[in-house]
Structure 1
Amino acid sequence: VTDALKKKQEENHNLQKQIESMAQKIIEGKNAEQTVAQLQATLAEKNKLISDMKTTSQNGEDKSLQLEQKNIEMSNQLAVLNRKISQLTESIQQKDINLAELKKSLNLTTVQSTAIDETSRALKQQLKETTEQLEKMKAQNKVNNDVQNQLVSAQSQISQLTGQLEQKQSILNELQSKLVDSDSHSKQMESSLVELKQKLHDSEDMLATVSDAQLANKRAIPNSPDEIRDYALGAYWAQEMMGMISEKEGYGYHINYQQVLNGADDKMHNQLKVPQEKLVSVLKTLYAESKKREETVTKLSDNEGKKFLQQFSSLTGVKRDPAGFYYLIAEKGKGKISSSDTVAVAMRESLSNGKVIDDMLEKHTVLALPWGKYPPLFKSALSHVNNHGEIRIDVPPALAYGERGRLPDILPNST
């Protein structure tokens, strides 16, 4: 269809060129007619001139002959021109006929081209519909293939399940047979079980009696020097253990006390439930991590203390004691404290981050000691106030708990 359309378009183009060529020739013919008309006008003027000359110069025979000769020549030229006009007129008429035929052919070709275009559009639409139907058939074919594959897979699964069902049925039959055989054996086992339960009950009673005796022995109050010595070792060991637990808790570990006691008891009875090598490995890791946490916590606490000390020392009224701490007198009090007095002090102890360690005012308690029994730091602080006075002191780590702190509450290098 496309090739035929192209061919018709080429024919139309050629016809259009022919029409343009003929139109040009027709224009040329019309120009010739204009030329002939001009010549005829010129000839008429000359004939008029000859007639005038004949009227005015009848006596000039020679000249008249010359004019007649000239007239004959021009008449001949006019005849030639008339013949050319006739030929051109016939040619123009023939061109008009050819032009009409060409226009008719061109109209016919245009109609054919329109028909071809319509046929082409119809064929394209048909091709589109056919393609869509083909795609639908492909999709349906794919669905059919998927369904077929699923059907094959399902049939395979059915075969497998059928085989498994037959196998399980065989096992069930075998078990039912064994069940019948074991029924009598089960009755014998029940009888033996009753007998064993009775023996277990007797054993539990005996064990309870022995345990009560051992517990009473364990909780007995130490009386002899050896018992007190052994008890002291246990108490000291417990104190060391509690210190270690507090230290680990201060670094962020959550210690299970019962597991600590279980480990100690199992080690003492040489009945460890975890291999010794694993315990050693875990402890090495614990110590390494504790060291890192200690360094981090110590640095953080030291920075907080220095920052707080700088802020506190810049407050109005804050002074530095020769002992190395800074103090601010909130209330001077009345009545000087003498060295023979017993001094009662209510303290509120807190860290630079605001954490309260101890607050005697809240607990409504006091620390009452003879003046001479107080540590030097307390004496230096209390010497700046009188009876019923109030003082606030900022103590750097070196004068307080130092690099060890008092875990878990007071971290190393705490102010």
Structure 2
Amino acid sequence: MKKTIITLMLPFCTLAVDAQTKKPTAVKKKVTTVVKKATPAVVLKTTLDSASYAFGNTMATSMKNDGLNNLNYDLLIKGLKDAFANKTPLIAKDQSQTAINNLFKVVSKQKHAPAIAEGKVFLERNKTQQGVQATASGLQYLVMTKGTGIRPKATDTVLVNYRGTLLNGKQFDSSYDRNEPLSLPLNGVIAGWTEGVQLMQVGSKYKFFIPYNLAYGERGAGADIPPYSTLIFEIELLKVNGK
């Protein structure tokens, strides 16, 4: 009798064990596919459309060539709309020009950072060279020949021979090559010349090492002197002509 009861209970035990060990069925997540709409192609239908696009593209190309890579486009468009609508500008005209100039100065410095760094490293090393002296402004000079004549003033006109080179040794100007000394007013030249030549006496020949801020600065000069160039000049003071 006991054997019969045990035999009958076995199937129920098996079902109970299966119920406890059976893993729950995984619920599949529903995947939602987002379909992006294609951006419609811009169609230039009228002369105004074509000219409007051309204005924007031409302006941007010019600014990009000057090193500018982006703008706040929302404010750019607002500026255009305000001007066409004769609205009062958010900033005055003189402030506008200052803002533009300041932006391009930042961009230019970033673009010419290698030249700025090269000049800085050169001047730091050069001022430790024997005979090289430096002024408070950062101008450095070496006396090659000591003269005995008078010293000019900033308001004087002087007669000089000179040779100018870049740090890589490339010559960009020379009165020696033209075999013709140059007469010039000291208050009408770069700051490095104005300061440096006043240190000289007639008959002297100096070599000047001029940082970019005392030379042609962020603009450079023509095709031969790039922006932010540190320059080297050999200058021979021949005569002081007075005012």
Q: Which has the larger radius of gyration?
A: 1
Q: TM-score scaled to structure 2, two decimals? A: 0.48
Provide the TM-score with structure 1 as the length reference.
0.30
Q: Which structure features the higher share of helix residues?
A: 1
The structure where strand makes up a greater share of residues is 2
Structure number with greater CO (CA < 8 Å, separation at least 6) is: 2
